[in-house]
Amino acid sequence: MKKIFAVVAALGLAASMAFAQDYNAAVETFNAGAQALETNKTEALAQFRAALEQAQALEGEDAEALVAKCKEAIPGVILSIAKEKINEGAYDEALASLAEAQSVAGEYEIAAVAEEAASLVPNTYMRKGSTLLKAGDFAGAAEALEEVTKLTPEDGMAFLLLGQAQLQGGATNKAVASLEKANELGETQAAKLLSTTYLKMGMGLVKAGKNAEAIEALEKSNSYLESANAYKLIASAYTKSGKSAKAIEAYKKYLEINPNAKDAADIIFTIAATAQKAGDKATAKEYYKKLAGTKYAAQAEAQLKTL
């Protein structure tokens, strides 16, 4: 019996020594990870993961404590790697690391890291989209910025940049929707872009002879930001549609906004002639009189005598 107890005791001592060796090895691996944090986070992450695997193969309170330390460190290192990638402009790699950080932090129940990683995702997409927009990759920019609007639908700047990317990429209808949302969210620059966009649409419709659609687009342009050019085009569309009175009113608005326009005399003469043709003698006289001292002075004087 004594022999058996001696053998058991020997086995216990050997097991204790083996545990100590394995535990110390795991601790050394963990410490190597901690030392690598300052110079190489990828290496640090590999060491922490190796230490975790070593510690999980052991039993006892000390091993459990080491497992807990590894699980506490790993998500934070992944997050730190993601931040480095963001600063380097490696946005796709950063996004992959942020997703991994959220997943691992969730698995290890490290809530603070999971929350911070999630909060950095929209910003990373925003930076990616802005960078691609400046580089002229409008499709790529739009794709990235769409992700921002999904994640943070209250971000007016994201909608504004998305609208710009879509405009540059030729997706006008999508751009209008994005810019309208940006305008709703208080981005004042969106109104100017919308006005310009509808102005261009109206110009194209006037050239195509689609006067009713042109007027609708141009009035929409003015609803965001009034412009002399929009009123001039509206006047042209109304004239082509045979609506003289409305054309005159639009021309008047053109002069009201841009009284020193280079073609002011031309517009004044057009108003007078249009009014005269429509039988509105009062308006015709009023505007012919404004042409004194201009290149139309003689014609205006002759028409006044006729009137």
The amino acid sitting at 84 is: E
In a domain, residue 176? The reply is no
In a domain, residue 285? The reply is no
**Direct distance between the N- and C-terminal alpha carbons of the chain, in angstroms, rounded to an integer:** 139
Q: Using one digit for the tens of pLDDT, what is the confidence trace for 30-58?
A: 999 999 998 999 999 999 999 999 999 98
In a domain, residue 178? The reply is no
In a domain, residue 80? The reply is yes
Q: Which pLDDT does position 259 carry in this prediction? A: 93
Residue 18 in tokens: 């083996």
In a domain, residue 114? The reply is yes
Q: Using one digit for the tens of pLDDT, what is the confidence trace for 74-86?
A: 999 999 999 999 9
Q: Which pLDDT does position 230 carry in this prediction? A: 97
Positions of the chain with pLDDT lower than 50, given as ranges: 1-15
The string over 242-253, giving b where at least 16 C-beta atoms fall within 10 Å of a residue's C-beta and e elsewhere, is ebbebbbbbbbb
In a domain, residue 197? The reply is no
CA distance 100 to 192: 41
Alpha helices (H) along 89-155: 91-108, 111-135, 138-151
CA distance 54 to 160: 51
CATH number at residue 48: 1.25.40
Tally the domains of the chain.
1
Q: Which pLDDT does position 300 carry in this prediction? A: 87
Range of the domain at 108: 13-121
With beta carbons less than 8 A apart as the criterion, state whether 124 and 94 touch: yes
Residue 275 CA, distance from chain mean position: 49
In a domain, residue 139? The reply is no
DSSP string over 212-273: HHHHHHHHHHHHHS--HHHHHHHHHHHHHTT-HHHHHHHHHHHHHH-TT-TTHHHHHHHHHH
Tell me the backbone φ, ψ of residue 190, rounded to 5 degrees. Answer: -65, -40
In a domain, residue 4? The reply is no
Largest Cα span, the chain: 142
Q: Is 169 helix (H, G, I), strand (E, B) or coil?
A: coil
Q: Which pLDDT does position 266 carry in this prediction? A: 96
